[in-house]
Amino acid sequence: MPLHKIAGHRSVLDLLARALARDTLLPTLLFVGPEGVGKRRVALTLAQAINCQTRTAAVPGRGASPLEACGTCENCQRIERGVHGDVLVVEPGESGAITIDQVRDVVDRASYRPFEGRKRVVVIDEAEMLGPDAQNALLKTLEEPPGASMFVLVSSRPDVLLPTVRSRCPRLRFGRLSAAEVTDTLVHDHGYAEADARAAAASADGSIGRALGADSTSVAQARDVASRALQTATASADPKRRLESAKELVAKSKKKGAPAADREALALRLRAMTSLLRDVGLVLSGGNDAGLANADLGSEVMKLADRYDGDRVVRAFSAVDRALGALMARNASPKVVADWLVLQL
Ligand SMILES: [Zn+2]
């Protein structure tokens, strides 16, 4: 998403855009501010602006930033879908904490040169969930980040971070959004109808996260649906049976059935599917169960691992990626996308 499309936070965005244009962006930053106001969104948008293949100068008269991600090139889209190899997001897992292993993994990966983009961007979301050990494992890297890497820590409770970590990451402060800005984001980025958006924004206290939180069960439901659809699709080679699982995938969400909301609901399920397939790949490569993102669905993941081999899981993973691309970038119909996808799994 181009910077100028982000709701609110003008001064932070201007500052980042200027630094980008002058190539003076600091390699470690700490984004602080209330929960759910879009800090992570801004970090990912920054990653897009850095890695965009066709980024452009300001659009005159639009008050646009000096540098803009196009939002449509391969890099921008892959970052948007969360599958770009150089933009790594670390966040708390099932245990609620960010583990030292997660930190070591990104520190290790950050030491290599980026392989698809200009710069590797590591976003550590809910950084306050890093335990002291995990923070200590980060320290050296924050002190001397590898040349082509940058680290953005995101936190609504920065004061619980170790002083040594805080002192190495200059802060950018995010404020609450206005109700109008929340409404706008719900309509444009989440497919809400105007009236619903206004109602949700009214009680959200300037936080998009809170407005959406009314819907927080949807993520868990999406994962259940994705898991069932994968089981059905892989249980039989019969195309008719497989198409049954597509029906499940596109089942209407409770939210009004606006086309954008249906696409959003399918996208949520496909992202959950990506995560499940990543776990299947991990099991197949002999990985440790503790590293599974969906460890609580362990038996489902194991059942899938029995049906897949390494090549097939890679093909399935890239099919889900293409399906997400068609859905998000080209506005394809959810039904067409789901029907195509289940035959590729
Ligand atoms: Zn781009």
Q: Read off the pLDDT of residues 105-163 as tens digits, 9 standing for 90 and up.
A: 999 988 888 888 789 999 999 999 999 999 999 999 999 999 889 999 999 999 999 99
Q: Examine the pLDDT at 61 and tell me if it is beyond 60.
A: no
- How far away, in angstroms, is 158 Cα from ligand 1 center? 31
Confidence band for 256, pLDDT divided at 50, 70 and 90: low
The confidence score (pLDDT) of residue 218 equals 65
- Give the whole-angstrom CA distance, residue 223 versus residue 218: 9
- How far away, in angstroms, is 134 Cα from ligand 1 center? 33
The confidence score (pLDDT) of residue 67 equals 62
Average pLDDT, the chain: 85
CATH number of 3-173: 3.40.50.300
Q: Examine the pLDDT at 287 and tell me if it is beyond 80.
A: no
Tell me the fold of 217-344. Answer: Zinc Finger, Delta Prime; domain 3 (1.20.272)
According to DSSP, the β-strands at 87-90 and 120-124 are parallel
Q: Tell me the range of 87-96, 162-171, 245-254, 305-314 where mean pLDDT is highest.
A: 162-171
- Give the whole-angstrom CA distance, residue 102 versus residue 275: 16
- How far away, in angstroms, is 274 Cα from ligand 1 center? 23
- How far away, in angstroms, is 57 Cα from ligand 1 center? 12
Q: What six digits make up the tokens of 283?
A: 């099991």
Contact 262, 252 (CB under 8 A): yes
Q: What six digits make up the tokens of 340?
A: 């195509």
Q: Examine the pLDDT at 204 and tell me if it is beyond 70.
A: yes
> Considering only 106-120, 287-301, 320-334, which range has the smallest mean pLDDT?
287-301
- How far away, in angstroms, is 89 Cα from ligand 1 center? 19
Higher-scoring residue by pLDDT: 127, 85: 127
Largest distance between two CA atoms of the chain: 59
- How far away, in angstroms, is 10 Cα from ligand 1 center? 21
Residue burial 105-133, b: 16+ Cβ < 10 Å; e: rest: ebbebbeeebeebebbbbbbbbbbbbeee
- How far away, in angstroms, is 49 Cα from ligand 1 center? 7
- How far away, in angstroms, is 149 Cα from ligand 1 center? 19
- How far away, in angstroms, is 82 Cα from ligand 1 center? 14
How many Cα neighbours within 13 Å face the side chain of 153?
30
- How far away, in angstroms, is 184 Cα from ligand 1 center? 23
Q: Where are the domains of the chain?
A: 3-173, 179-213, 217-344
Q: Which residue's entry shows tokens 């991990």?
A: 282
Count the neighbouring beta carbons within 10 Å of the beta carbon of residue 258.
Answer: 14
- How far away, in angstroms, is 15 Cα from ligand 1 center? 20
- How far away, in angstroms, is 331 Cα from ligand 1 center? 18
- How far away, in angstroms, is 325 Cα from ligand 1 center? 14
